[in-house]
Amino acid sequence: MIEIIKETDRSYRFQLKNTHGATILSSVPFSNKKEIKKTVSELTPLVHKPAVFERKTNYKGKFLFNLKNGNGKIIGNSPLFDSEAGMENGIKYVKKRIVDLDIGSKTK
């Protein structure tokens, strides 16, 4: 499920959740609802491009990835993974969830 959340500072974020309700991708803040809905609607074609997933390792040796839009701007990031294989599985899962989703988002 993709959930659009209005934050207290009048910005919006989306979260992609797995079937158990855990967040598997969190977006950067967006300034308005129109902008975030446009970005969410572009996720399905976007995830088929391999260059949109930026793989990283943090200073503690944990793995994570960022999701970038077509212009190379980071639009979301993953939680931390203990292994590179876990991160790769996370990317595969994000791709599958986005493709399988009906992009009808709900707003809190």
* pLDDT value at 33 more than 80: yes
Please classify residue 91 by burial: count the beta carbons closer than 10 Å to its beta carbon, then call 0-12 exposed, 13-18 middle and 19+ buried: buried
Given 3.40.50.970, 2.40.100.10, 1.10.10.60, 2.30.29.80, which CATH number is that of 2-102? 2.30.29.80
pLDDT tens by residue, 46-74: 888 888 999 999 999 999 999 999 899 99
In this prediction, residue 48 carries a pLDDT of 85
**Mean per-residue pLDDT over the chain, rounded:** 88
Where is pLDDT greater, at 93 or 102? Answer: 93
* pLDDT value at 108 more than 70: no
What is the arithmetic mean of pLDDT over 26-45?
90
Strands (E), 1-108: 2-6, 12-17, 23-27, 53-57, 63-68, 74-77, 106-107
In this prediction, residue 10 carries a pLDDT of 81
